[in-house]
Amino acid sequence: MKCLNGLVVAGKNILLRADFNVPMDQWRVILDDSRIRAALPTILYLIKHRAKQIVLVSHLGRPKGKVVEELKLKAVAQRLGTLLKIKNNLILGKVGNFKAYKLNPQIHLLENIRFYKEEEENNLEFAKKLANLGDVFVNDAFSCSHRAHASIEGVTHFLPSYAGMALEREVETLSSMTKNPKSPFVCILGGAKVSDKIDVIKNLAHKVDWFLLGGVMANTFLKAKGFDIKSSAVVNEKLDEAKKLYEDFGEKIVLPVDYTFGKLDGKDAILDIGQTTVSMFADYLRRAKTIFWNGNLGMTEIKEFAKGSKEMAKAVISSNAVTIAGGGDTVSFLNQYGFTTRFSFVSLGGGATLEFLAGKKLPGLAPLI
């Protein structure tokens, strides 16, 4: 992979793709700035090595090619300026043909790149206009690298392209985990995105010792096996695949044995794993040397149904394993209870992490190799 330590930065204009798609409340206050902080090492490296200008690119939310007031990046620019200890007032101006926030003469942040419909279309003329803002492109947005978008893949057709420090660490950590994991290797897969997680099982079945399933993922396998899950959320179109996977790797796929039911749209549904399952899963985790977790095991936004995931987090951080977590909902949950800092590594990728672990080629990574 082409990384920053192989690049002469001095005197060059750098086009830097970051992921500042941070959660905000209704007043547009940033709730978690982890993704902004993740970009700091690369930005500081570029400053230290005398880059002439750094033009940052990011999206926020899904404006679908239209300007949406609440998805403007002003709050992100302000937080970034604070973290970089830039005292100047924020100025909204232009860089080339693009609206941008000027943090200081050296650093600019373009307005939400998804305000342009050409971004998600990966329009090459649009990508060329972006590329004109830099001499070199640096991709530090691993979490977006499964998207063939103009600011991720398109610009690489026009500029020499390199991996940023956060992206480099993501790839190195996940590659090491999948190629040379310490055994026993335990994968906790919960939440939704069942299709992606089924692909992870397919790709890693010969490396992972046990998959511990919860959430919609577990519901789909339980229904495929003929269990009555009442009105629980399930992905019906994946039932056949789930059944076949269980037939092939049933000794590795560990399903809940008891559940906590609640009301979902007025109907009974599984909303958390039960205490017997918590104890059973914890036993597997005590034996593990490598643990990867993506997807909560219950409806954690409701405190009553967060118990299973909370107990699992305690079991993970109490283990002697290398511990890796990924997925937006999972990381937000772990942050809420202060568990994140006790993991060996926290991936900021959601769909990108799953596609990487499923063995798929990511459009944003291919040009960097």
Residue 262: band (very low, low, confident or very high) from pLDDT cuts 50, 70, 90: very high
User: Residue 327 above 90 pLDDT?
Assistant: no
Percentage of residues in the chain having pLDDT higher than 70: 100
Q: What structural domains does the chain harbor? A: 4-167 (3.40.50.1260), 181-357 (3.40.50.1260)
pLDDT score of 88: 73
pLDDT digits (tens, 9 = 90+) for 47-100: 999 999 999 999 999 999 999 999 999 999 999 999 999 987 789 999 999 999
Between residues 88 and 249, which one has the greater pLDDT? Answer: 249
| 208-220 average pLDDT score | 97
Report pLDDT digits (tens) over 166-192.
Answer: 999 999 999 999 999 999 999 999 998
Report pLDDT for 35.
Answer: 94
Q: Please list the active-site residues.
A: 35, 193, 328, 351
What's the pLDDT at 328? 82
pLDDT in tens, 106-115: 999 999 999 9
In the chain, the percentage of residues whose pLDDT exceeds 90 is: 94
SS3 letters across the chain: CCEHHHCCCCCCEEEEECCCCCCECCCCCECCCHHHHHHHHHHHHHHHCCCCEEEEECCCCCCCCCCCHHHCCHHHHHHHHHHCCCCCCCEEEEECCEEEEECCCCEEEECCHHHCHHHHHCCHHHHHHHHCCCCEEEECCHHHCCCCCCCCCHHHHCCCEEECHHHHHHHHHHHHHHHCCCCCEEEEECCCCHHHHHHHHHHHCCCCCEEEECHHHHHHHHHHCCCCCECCCCCHHHHHHHHHHHHHHCCCEECCCCEEEEEECCEEEEEEECHHHHHHHHHHHHHCCEEEEECCCCCCCCHHHCHHHHHHHHHHHHCCCEEEEECHHHHHHHHHCCCHHHCCEEECCCHHHHHHHCCCCCCCCHHHC
Note the pLDDT of residue 329.
Answer: 87
- pLDDT score, position 205: 96
- What pairing do the DSSP bridges indicate for beta strands 13-17 and 98-102? unpaired
Sheet holding 345-347, edge to edge: 253-254, 210-213, 185-189, 290-294, 322-326, 345-347
pLDDT at 6: 82
Per-residue model confidence as pLDDT tens digits over 129-169: 999 999 999 999 999 999 999 999 999 999 999 999 999 99
Q: What is the mean pLDDT of residues 233-256?
A: 97
Specify the pLDDT at position 72.
Answer: 97
